[in-house]
Chain A
Amino acid sequence: MAVLTAVLAIALGTLGIGQRGVLAGAQQKAETTEVKIDNFSFGPGTLTIPAGTVVTWTNRDDIPHTVVSTDGVFKSKVLDTDEKFSFTFSKAGTYPYFCSIHPKMTGKVIVQ
């Protein structure tokens, strides 16, 4: 049961910050960071975070975008206006990503 709860917590954790409380009770509270998609760009374009951080992208444009890892690590569904995508970065490294619909839009997450 404990294992099941942990799995559920991680699964919920990837859905968005609203679900973090479940995880927080079990272990150290996960950090969360926001990236805004505005005017066909990711802000901040380069994000540096400690391992374990949940990053949430929010599309604030009138046009759909995606968040797709260049190396295939993560890939969002298409995000319409105000839709969000979250990913938990557990391993250190550099994660370049782009919008697969508008590939001129690129960003980077550096996990320390």
Chain B
Amino acid sequence: MAGKTKDEIQYDHNHDGIDRRGFLKCMAWAGTGALCVMSGGVLKSYSLSRLPEMSSKEALGELSFVQISDSHMGFNKPANPDVAGTLKAAVDKINALSAAPEFMLHTGDISHLSKPEEFDTVDQILKGAKPSDVFYVPGEHDVLNDDGKQFLERYGKGSKGGGWYSFDKKGAHFIGLVNVMNLKAGGLGTLGHEQLEWLEDDVKHLKHSTPVVVFAHIPLWSVYPEWGWGTEDSAQALAYLKKFGSVTVLNGHIHQTMQKVEGNVTFHTAASTAFPQPQPGKADSPGPMKVPAEQLKSVLGITDVNYVQGQHALAVVDSTLA
């Protein structure tokens, strides 16, 4: 590693590789990119502006992937009349990363209205990205009118139930969860009994040292229940993941970056590639937030995630499209 920075965390209170206060320093709102590197139980944060100074080995691990979210293809209102253009800008950003990510995660709301042509457009634009593999979970906008049938036909091959699945990459275990189906009046996102049972079984035989990455559309922590920004039964899911030393939860839905740490679990929400939404409770509703056109790309973004095998390192980098 390069010389210490003032943000380096010296104490690992829980011996879990995560320092609570330190991680909170990495909290990043849209437009304030930060890189968090966990290495040898020490968490460091860097401003994105320092990235060019860092060696690629330091900044990038053995496994690098990118999360994009909420592309809302088909949206055409003043908050962003060109969501195809900003998704292309996100692809350009991904292609400009110093080390090409191995794959992409799309955490839902691919389309705005679940129309076939909206999915087609996204597929076409993402073909321009260097990583050819994309792993999807649906957002509520992707399962309108047909209970997710079209989504499953397009993206759910090999998945279970409503589209959940898991896979392994270089020693890390990835779990895609679906929490946008069968929503109940007055409620939040829901995983449901069947999916929770599958999850319990899926992680049962994994070693505690296996880094786990969970991705789903609606946040799996209570960001702002008043706006539906949370998942009813996420506590049960997280209980099954308690035994693991490193759990990273990646979500979308709220169109802004936010991070939180709870025990061994770090939560992260990604920016949208389409339009920003207000900070919790800072507007009458969570509807699209209009910003001056020249500022739009500074509130949209992608998330680059790196895992360094053997160094217990995991890095989450938010970059805006500006």
Contacts and interface: CB of A to CB of B under 8 A. Distances in A.
Contacts of A62: 75, 77-79, 287-288
Nearest to A107: B185
Interface string A17-42: 00000000000000000000001110
A98 interface: yes
B285 interface: yes
A61 B287 contact: yes
Nearest to A78: B144
Interface residues of A, number: 22
Contacts of B225: 104
Given A62-B77, A62-B79, A103 B187 contact: yes
A102 interface: yes
B284 interface: yes
B223 to A, nearest CB: 13
B114 A103 contact: no
A77 B145 CA distance: 6
Nearest to B226: A104
A40 B144 contact: no
A63 B70 CA distance: 13
B285 A41 contact: yes
A39 B283 CA distance: 9
B141 A103 contact: no
Nearest to A40: B285
Interface string B222-263: 000111100000000000000000000000000000000000
B113 A80 contact: yes
Contact of B186 (A61, A63, A101, A103): A103
A96 interface: yes
A64 B145 CA distance: 12
Main secondary structure of the interface of A (DSSP, over half): loop
B212 interface: no
A46 interface: no
A54 B78 CA distance: 32
Contacts of B79: 62
B183 interface: yes
A97 B226 CA distance: 18
Contact of A78 (B78, B114, B285): B114
B112 interface: yes
Contacts of B78: 62
A112 interface: no
A70 B285 contact: no
B183 A103 contact: yes
A100 B186 CA distance: 10
A47 B229 CA distance: 27
Contacts of B285: 39-41, 61
Contacts of B60: none
Contact of A64 (B141, B228, B286): B141
Interface string A42-77: 000000000000000000011110100010000001
Contacts of B286: 40
24 contacts: A40-B285, A41-B285, A61-B285, A62-B78, A62-B288, A63-B287, A64-B141, A66-B144, A77-B145, A78-B113, A78-B114, A96-B185, A98-B185, A100-B183, A101-B141, A101-B183, A103-B183, A103-B185, A103-B186, A103-B187, A103-B188, A104-B186, A104-B228, A106-B186
Interface of A: 39-41, 61-64, 66, 70, 77-78, 80-81, 96-98, 100-104, 106
Interface of B: 75, 77-79, 112-114, 140-141, 144-145, 183-188, 225-228, 284-288
Given A77-B145, A101-B141, 7 more contacts: A39-B284, A39-B285, A39-B287, A101-B140, A101-B144, A102-B228, A103-B228
